[in-house]
Chain A
Amino acid sequence: MHIKEEFAERHVLTLTVDNEAGTLARIAGMFTARGYNIDSLTVADISEDHAISRITIVTKGPPEVIDQIIAQCERLVPVHKVTDLTDAGPHVERELALVKVSGAGDKRVEAMRLADIYRARVIDATVSSFIFEITGGPDKIDTFVALMRELGLVEVGRTGIVGLMRGSDAS
């Protein structure tokens, strides 16, 4: 007998939660405890009185598992609202990455040129290195990082995705 892998689709969920000790551990731990995947997770306080945080989770699973993930999140007391952006319709997803590249000569020039094409900004420079700041959808960042790998990539830091529904309504 062998362990079987299941088909999975990617979903972006946003959660509005109470900004209190343990909320993130409760949510992240629930994913582990129930065997759900987390591709990325971002969290920050979003309200004026610091009472509410917004969490964006990118997860993968078959549709019935995604449905369970949402229900299990909603079951947690500090979770007020869960929105599946992927199901809810048109939305934007953005991620920020810091990309450090080291090199000299043609490679350094080429890295600058590509950064310009990808609208990445230089936020630190030495005679032998750059740090680029790039924002965009995850695919764009993946591609940019792949290009930099050939030009002296040293390290990458990524924030994970934040997302909002398009249009005038809150998600």
Chain B
Amino acid sequence: MAENSGADILIEALLAQGVDTVFGYPGGAVLPIYDALFQHPKIRHVLVRHEAGAAHAAEGYARSTGKPGVVLVTSGPGATNAVTGIADAFMDSIPMICITGQVATNLIGSDAFQEADTIGITRHCTKHNYLVKDPAELGAVVAEAFHIATQGRPGPVVIDIPKNVQVATAEFDRHGSNATKRYIPAGDADFAAITQAVELLAKAKAPILYTGGGIINSGPDASAALRELATLSGAPVTSTLMGLGSFPASDPAWLGMLGMHGTYEANMAMNQCDVMLCLGARFDDRVTGRLDAFSPNSTKVHIDIDRSSINKTVRVDLPIVADVGKAIRQMITIWNSRKLQPQNLDEWWARIKGWRSVGSLNYPASQSEIMPQYAIERLYELTKDKAPIITTEVGQHQMWAAQHFHFDAPNKWLTSGGLGTMGYGLPAAIGAQMGNPDALVIDIAGEASIQMNIQELGTATQYRLPVKVFILNNEWMGMVRQWQQLTYESRYSNSYSDSLPDFVALAEAYGWKGIRCDDPAKLDDAIAEMLAFDGPVMFDCRVSKEANCFPMIPSGAAHTEMILHSDEVSGTMDDEAKALV
């Protein structure tokens, strides 16, 4: 068998995994790989403008297509710049393969030019990582890396390849891989346990399905199965930020998102339920509020593929380690084979109706300025027929988008949930557009967040990607300002977005179209103009400057202590509350 260079073996191994798109940035320590790419036109390389953009673009590609995202960056700063995106993928369980160049093996540890301990730096923000010291290992490493990144709870895997390993030759054995042998994630649920879960759900008088990103990671069938289970059980459904779209927002059983900025009905139903079925969610602090007051009287069932998510923050009564999609299918089978009927849930639904009537997402209307919530509502109404893919940055605009944009299908909502990374949305939109060329892809942004990876405007121009960036521009780091108002008596320390660029001129400088609107009466036309343009558009939507995002569970408070929009909000908090994130 002929020998190939490590770089060629890498490309062959990526092709064997079905990779057709790579997001990257060249540099000294990956030149051999870039030369091999040059000769393999089957792989499209998307040249970003900063390695953080490559990692987030790969996340957007992965989240919107269900396929792993692939990143290629050089050693040292190339790798360290990608770390935020890797950590983001780790927190949000996004399958990603990040290939990093490294200095030659004989130089490792010598403080060589562009040397960084990539393996050490990424060890605790990856699912696994490798330093490959022999090209003969590359084939097996790549195969195992894809297996680990995509199976079980998905996550990022880093493959660090020294430059001399890219040049040295070996045989590529595409058949002799042990890739799937040592990492074997959970599959079906334990039959006795899942039967017990079905019985609990069937006996519940006030059940709730609390769903998360695991449903989306489990694949489209998990979303379909969730709908069936909701119909069979008659239970209301709420979801975390990461799970939006796994259950249709148009369904009457939908309560909206739960948690810190979730709806009143979702949080009250979580607090008052008698059986909570947690499906692929992880009791994040943004969801639970104060732990000792979290859903005090419910029997809790938790189905998760990651054993370490169970009993991490909230003790549950029935833990089930399984693929959530398979587990829901098992529940449906058991429910049907036993011909179970739900309890009479009329009283439960009547209580929910009462909570809904509070209208927790209402906001003060304005004729003179664009309310940010109104902007999202109009964007939703004018694009919903196109089933757009929405990405966001992080902050108030993200929460308003989660509250007022509604999703009926999975893989349409891409946001940085766990790590909360400003600068995620634009590159994620680029990645999503690469994976879905015909889709309408919109990054709902804030004027502060968008500046964190604004250099990626050039990437969209280069690849003629018609992404839309819709900036809710209130001239503040809005969520920081809101917390300062609520917690620090309106001492607005460094949260004003001073010296903003002219976003329209900036867009035009990059070859984009720029649109500005500050009049609610003209908003629909301006959005229509954005949608009609066949190319990338940056929309500078000037919104009410000091609008707050409500409802809100303040730091250290319980689900029942939500602040609604009409409540008095300015003030201070005690140290215990200030210390919480």
Contacts and interface: CB of A to CB of B under 8 A. Distances in A.
B47 to A, nearest CB: 31
A67 B123 contact: no
Interface stretch (A24-32, A39-47, A157-165): A24-32
A31 B183 CA distance: 21
Interface stretch (A71-79, A119-127, A142-150): A71-79
Contacts of B574: 1
A25 B123 contact: yes
B498 interface: no
A75 B576 contact: no
B315 A77 contact: no
Nearest to B574: A1
A1 B576 contact: yes
B576 A74 contact: no
Choose among B128, B148, B574, B579 the residue with the greatest number of A CB atoms under 10 Å from its CB.
Answer: B128
Interface residues of B, number: 22
A17 B579 CA distance: 38
Given A1-B575, A29-B123, A77-B183, A22 B131 contact: yes
A76 B124 CA distance: 10
Contacts of B128: 76-77
A65 to B, nearest CB: 10
A26 B126 CA distance: 11
B454 to A, nearest CB: 32
A71 B574 CA distance: 35
Interface in A68-101: 68, 71-72, 74-78, 80
B182 A18 contact: yes
B307 interface: yes
Contacts of B148: 77
Contact of A72 (B120, B182, B308, B315): B308
A85 to B, nearest CB: 20
A64 interface: yes
A76 B123 CA distance: 11
Contacts of B310: 71
A21 interface: yes
B306 interface: yes
Interface string B138-162: 0000000000100000000000000
Contact of A71 (B308, B315, B575): B308
B462 interface: no
A117 interface: no
Contacts of A170: none
A71 to B, nearest CB: 4
A70 B215 CA distance: 25
Interface in A1-54: 1, 18, 21-22, 25-26, 29-30, 33
B123 A75 contact: no
B119 interface: yes
Given A30-B124, A77-B182, A64 B315 contact: yes
B307 A74 contact: yes
A18 B90 CA distance: 23
Nearest to A1: B575
Contacts of A18: 182
Choose among A26, A30, A72, A77 the residue with the greatest number of B CB atoms under 10 Å from its CB.
Answer: A77
A77 B145 CA distance: 11
Given A1-B579, A26-B123, A68 B312 contact: yes
Given A1-B575, A1-B576, A29 B311 contact: no
Nearest to A77: B128
A67 to B, nearest CB: 6
B406 interface: no
B127 interface: yes
Contacts of B182: 18, 77-78, 80
Given A1-B575, A1-B576, A77-B148, A71 B307 contact: yes
22 contacts: A1-B574, A1-B575, A1-B579, A18-B182, A22-B123, A22-B131, A26-B123, A29-B123, A33-B124, A64-B311, A64-B315, A68-B312, A71-B307, A71-B308, A71-B310, A72-B308, A74-B307, A75-B307, A75-B308, A77-B148, A77-B183, A78-B182
Given A1-B579, A22-B129, 10 more contacts: A22-B131, A25-B123, A26-B123, A29-B123, A68-B312, A71-B310, A71-B312, A76-B128, A77-B127, A80-B182
Interface of A: 1, 18, 21-22, 25-26, 29-30, 33, 64, 67-68, 71-72, 74-78, 80
4 A-B pairs with the lowest CB-CB distances in the bound complex, closest first: A71-B308, A1-B575, A77-B128, A33-B124
